[in-house]
Amino acid sequence: MRLLIALSALLISSLTWAANPQVRLQTSMGNITIELFAEQAPETVKNILRYVDEGFYDGTVFHRVVPGFVIQGGGFDRDLQQKKTHAPIRNEADNGLKNERGTLSMARTSNPDSGTSQFFVNLKDNAMLDHTAPTPRGWGYAVFGKVVDGMDTVDRIAKVRTGAGRLNGAHSVRDVPSTPVIIERAMRLDEDGQAD
């Protein structure tokens, strides 16, 4: 009976793994491991994994750090020049997932369906970012994953000194880390937690 229970647990674990790929971000401040919610946000996860597999995130930075809110990255290089992306994807914020501490969501413009490569990690429960209605104002931000290891790294990043910066050399923004926080490498992990 115990053997049957153990085999059942192993099978369930394998099925969970198949549905939930993991990605490790090696950053200049430590590693962050993310579980991706492939079932709830299939288009978003496929999009993120495409960028990971292409090496797109390697050398990008967390260009926006707002303590007690979010850290955002995945679109600019260390010189704050925006990288060319694929076409935007459909907003999957209506998937029932909430913008809770440690979850990752797609960043976007005021157009709900404008997400490309940028994402943010919620530093606290941010219910105001959740989907409430299929309207421009109510669409919210699509949660597609969560930090399963390395939240201490996320919290360290959230404490860096920030100031004004210029994205693409022109657009002036606040909350840019004074010393770049670099995503040195993003990679898929296998079921043993090793890089593919």
- Give residue 19's pLDDT band: very low, low, confident or very high (50, 70, 90): low
Question: Which of the two residues, 122 and 6, has the higher pLDDT score?
Answer: 122
When pLDDT is averaged across residues 137-162 and rounded to a whole number, the result is 97
> What percent of the chain has a predicted confidence (pLDDT) above 70?
90
- Identify whether the C-beta of residue 182 lies closer than 8 Å to the C-beta of residue 28: yes
Element (H, E) at 148: strand 143-149
Residue 54 clears pLDDT 80, i.e. is over it: yes
What are the backbone angles phi and psi of residue 99, rounded to the nearest 5°? -80, 80
> What percent of the chain has a predicted confidence (pLDDT) above 90?
81
Residue 16 clears pLDDT 70, i.e. is over it: no
pLDDT at 170: 78
Helix, strand, coil fractions of the chain, as percent rounded to 5: 20, 35, 45
Burial 15-35 (b: 16+ CB within 10 A, else e): eeeeebbbbbbbbebeebbbb
Q: Which of 166, 188, 190 is nearest to 79 (CA)?
A: 166
Residue 166 clears pLDDT 60, i.e. is over it: yes
**Reported pTM:** 0.88
Fold exhibited by the domain 20-189:
Cyclophilin (2.40.100)
Question: Which of the two residues, 8 and 138, has the higher pLDDT score?
Answer: 138
- Give residue 194's pLDDT band: very low, low, confident or very high (50, 70, 90): confident
* Domain boundaries of the chain, sorted by first residue: 20-189
